[in-house]
Amino acid sequence: MKETVPLLGLETEYGIIREDLEDSDPVEESMKLLKSCPQKSVFSKWNYSQENSHQDMRGFKVRSLAQDEEEDAFCAEDRKRPYSYLEMKCDRVLSNGARFYNDHTHPEYSTPECNSLFSLVAHDVAGERIVEESTRIRNQELGKKAVQVFKNNTDYSGHSYGTHDNYLITRETPFDFLVKSLLPFIVTRQLYAGAGKVGSENSKTKNYKGLQLAQRSDFIEKILSIETMTQRPIINTRDEPHASRNQYRRLHLIMGDANMSAYATALKVGSTMLVLDLIAKGAHLPDIELENPVEDVLKVSQDKTRNATLKRTSGKSITSLEIQEAYLECVEQNNSERDKESQWVIQEWEKTLHELKHCPDKLSNRIDWAIKEKLFSEFMESENLDWGDPMIQSLDLEYHNLDPDRGLYRGLEQEKEVLTLLSEKEVSRAIEFPPQGTRAKIRGDAVNKESEKIKSIHWTGIEFENGDLLDLTGVINQEDVGKIRMAG
């Protein structure tokens, strides 16, 4: 596969609760969790001056965002706390190149930039393990398992927190063409990428009973928007590449779910990579334009046949499965030089769509919503319950619990009831070491070897106490990494 998507990353906000307190403070709990992190890291030195979330890919800069207002509200409340802004953020840059910090009410783990699919998936799972270990240490301090952390996207109280997949793409591709080409794919990607959700928190479908495909679908309100906390879009327009602006964009997709299944994560990111590769090449893509893409997001998620019929602007109809099959066919036709990873994605994408169409029960060992459907259906039958019982929503939350003694997915892993994509060696390596051939390797090595000498750090560079500055803005591939090493 031609390398048109040189860097990939995942950001995951984790749900957190202190069960022994009636009114626990998620800010405090997130801070204490971060302080419990045992990984070697640079603490509280993130360079916020390099952040710029107000530039829009549509060619303008917004004056303010809804998150700014929320930030102001947080700041007003935070002034009552005995901490500075940086103390509350508790930013850690780890020796594996990742960033782990407090996003106000959620601990957030951002993987290092990866240049291969399976490396990214390993680093995502490594993030789970690091968060889990930090939780264990925190509970050890408390003397009880009071803090519970969940890799999911909703607390069933109307709040949604994100899992964002990120792709560095060429700026040569017109943004309008990117949106038109990608939109039907993203709307229907939840067929295999959805983490599953019991019931609905969307005001239009609050009486829905059953299992949705995805958790974020309840909260999508627009096709395009720079916002991430309100008016959430199918495609986010934030233009913050963390790379050379004249060459690259960072496609920041906020509609994805937090997958417990590493297989589902790999298929979600891998299929998106291949579609983006086609778009960058200007290859022939499915000529599909949906009449109501925002409404279709929820329709696809809640259709109990798992194959919603959607209206096209042409007046014709198409099913969600047909859309995915059309994209897969285009990828197969235009991907003659397949490396090992793209071959795996095409093979598993085809297998998953075939089984979804003909024998969906076979998905219950690797696709999160299908695993939940089997698990919860068996429980309801044994206990004579239905989808509307609050107990099933409780089970839904526990599916995502990182605690190996409580988490339902963790239990299925231990019983070998779900597919294992990665070896323990691969995960352990990702916990300790940054991905090779990326600027994250430079960042991770600097943290590992020179942590006491670092004054500030960011995705795009490192400033040392002696005034030296290592600019990583243009560092993308193995060749760039080599040049930086020689310069150092």
Q: Which residues are catalytic?
A: 103
SS3 310: strand
* Eight-class DSSP state of 167: E
* Exposure of 134 in the CB half-sphere (CA atoms within 13 A): 29
Indicate if the alpha-carbon torsion angle 355, 361, 365, 369 is positive or negative.
Answer: positive
> Which of 81, 225, 212 has its CA nearest to residue 152?
212
Q: Label residues 92-109 b or e (16+ Cβ within 10 Å = b).
A: bbbbbbbbbbbbbbbbbb
Which residue type is seen at 256? G
The answer for residues whose C-beta is within 8 angstroms of residue 471's C-beta and 6 or more apart is: 460, 461
* Continuous segment of H or E residues that includes residue 16: strand 15-18
* Closest by Cα among 36, 17, 19, 32 to 137: 36
Q: Partners of 17 in the beta sheet?
A: 148
Strands 222-225 and 233-236: parallel
Rg (CA), the chain: 22
List C-alpha distances in Å: 454 to 86, 93, 250, 450: 16, 11, 26, 7
C-alpha 47/C-alpha 50 separation (Å) is 6
**DSSP secondary structure of 437-463:** TSHHHHHHHHHHHHGGGEEEEETTEEE
**Angstrom distance (rounded) from CA 108 to CA 132:** 13
Residue 17 in tokens: 């609760």
Residues in the chain: 488
Q: Which residues on neighbouring strands pair with residue 101, listed in sequence order?
A: 108
How far is 414 from 350, CA to CA, in rounded Å?
Answer: 28
